[in-house]
Amino acid sequence: MKDSIGKNIGILLTVILLGGMIALRSMQNYSDKDYRGSNFFVFWLSGRLLTEGQNPYNPDQWQTGHEVYGVTNAREAIFLYPLPLAVLMIPLGLLTLDQAYLGWQILAQLSIAMVVFTLLNRWDRPEHNRLFIPVVLFISFFGPTYLTLQLGSIGPLTLIILFAAILFLEKKNSYAAGILLALTMLKPPQGISFLFLISVWLLARRNWKALLGILLGGILLWVLGMSIELDWVSKFIHSGEAAFDRRLGYQSNLWSFSYLVCNNNTNCSFALGGALSLIFLGSASYYLWRNHARLTIWQAFNISIPVGFISTIYLWSYDQLPYIIPIVWIVGTLVKRTKSYIYAFLFLMVLDLFSLFALEKQASTGRDLWSLGNTAIVLGMVIMLLYRQTNSIVEKDIPANV
């Protein structure tokens, strides 16, 4: 009886704390952030135009849409993202901009909390369940999370897609997992490198259903975009190339660092960036292929997410939000192995402090280069823990299929 009462009180306190954290951050961003000048406005406007029978790939309608809602400096000639993403933004477009931004704040934080809660429960241990609120709190101050919530980027959508794909793969529902994985192509620079790596692992495991699901999902996205604009792919590529050219040397990936090393020489930077990306992608692919039978689904994603980020041509620090998936694994594994919270919290503190430092550097310089450290910390910890697991006789960190 006492245990039941104590458990109910614990659940109630968790809900109150979580609700308070979400409400505080949501209202703070809603009150302080000029979201008409943020990424969120772009996503909202794309959905809004579709609800009005217009096309976000039409330059005139796109420009007029900005002006109607008080934004006079459209950063891009058309919607910078794949047209199918605009279709997914229609529910936001049905709301006013204020309502949509506040709702997205709440939904994004709830999504993050749900992912953390579900992943921690994979260990099915009281000590891991007690980590829920502290981990959510630390992650709320992780630089990419902080920036994602302020700008209203689509990182939470990518996080949910990857998380759901893990669950479907665990349940042996490979077709659905593959279709979900194809949705990472809603941001192609992120999806291409990640899909390449995870497809190598799926191929090694002969999971033909998941690979077929990825292909089917890609076709569905293409057809969805064609229902609005027949040649949407060529327009997206043209717009993306222009944006990439303007921002090369500003991001925390191998291509931008190569551009700086080559003293802004495009030919040199493409040669060096391409070579370094091939080395990283090739090394990770070899590891995933060779260890496909030993790696769990979660562990394969832990490798593919950060390596995919650093190897691609165009991403910003807020696109590191899916790092939450390997971060939770690192924290849970440290607690499992050390029988202590100290190392897990130390890892989270170092990660938060560095990511906020990188965020400050981005704000002061306009360059996102320091966020490379976030990738180094997360990927380095994943590799170290996997290496120690390989050399351990009795290690088993998480349930077999996760």
pLDDT value for 183: 96
Place of tokens 């999971």: 207
Percent of the chain with pLDDT over 70: 94
Does the pTM exceed 0.85?
Answer: yes
pLDDT for 387 beyond 50: yes
Which tens digits make up the pLDDT trace of 208-232?
Answer: 999 999 999 999 999 999 999 999 9
Angle between helices 97-120 and 143-151 (to 10 degrees): 150
Closest alpha carbon to 326 in 102, 123, 162, 146: 162
Model confidence at 357, pLDDT cuts 50, 70, 90, reads very high
Distance CA 23, CA 30 (A): 10
The answer to whether 81 and 243 are in contact (CB under 8 A) is no
Place of tokens 């990472």: 184
- DSSP track, 300-356: HHHHHHHHHHHHSSS--GGGGGGGHHHHHHHHHHHHHHHSSSHHHHHHHHHHHHHHH
Closest alpha carbon to 22 in 98, 117, 136: 136
pLDDT value for 397: 47
Closest alpha carbon to 380 in 307, 275, 282: 307
Over range 85-89, report the average pLDDT: 95
Q: How far is CA 183 from the centre of its chain?
A: 12
pLDDT value for 265: 85
The answer to whether 362 and 368 are in contact (CB under 8 A) is yes
pLDDT value for 394: 42
pLDDT value for 392: 58
pLDDT for 247 beyond 80: no
Long-range contacts of 234-242 (CB under 8 A, 24+ apart): 235/57, 235/78, 236/57, 236/81, 236/82, 236/83, 239/76, 239/77, 239/78, 239/79, 239/80, 240/80, 240/188, 240/314, 242/76, 242/77
Structure tokens at 162: 């990857």
Model confidence at 38, pLDDT cuts 50, 70, 90, reads confident
The answer to whether 296 and 401 are in contact (CB under 8 A) is yes
Residues 6+ apart with CB under 8 A from 102: 26, 30
Distance CA 391, CA 396 (A): 12
pLDDT for 23 beyond 50: yes
Distance CA 332, CA 124 (A): 11
Residues 6+ apart with CB under 8 A from 355: 142, 143, 144, 317, 371, 373, 374
Over range 65-69, report the average pLDDT: 89
**What is the rounded radius of gyration, in angstroms, for the C-alpha atoms of the chain?**
21
- Mean predicted lDDT score pLDDT of the chain: 90
The answer to whether 232 and 83 are in contact (CB under 8 A) is yes
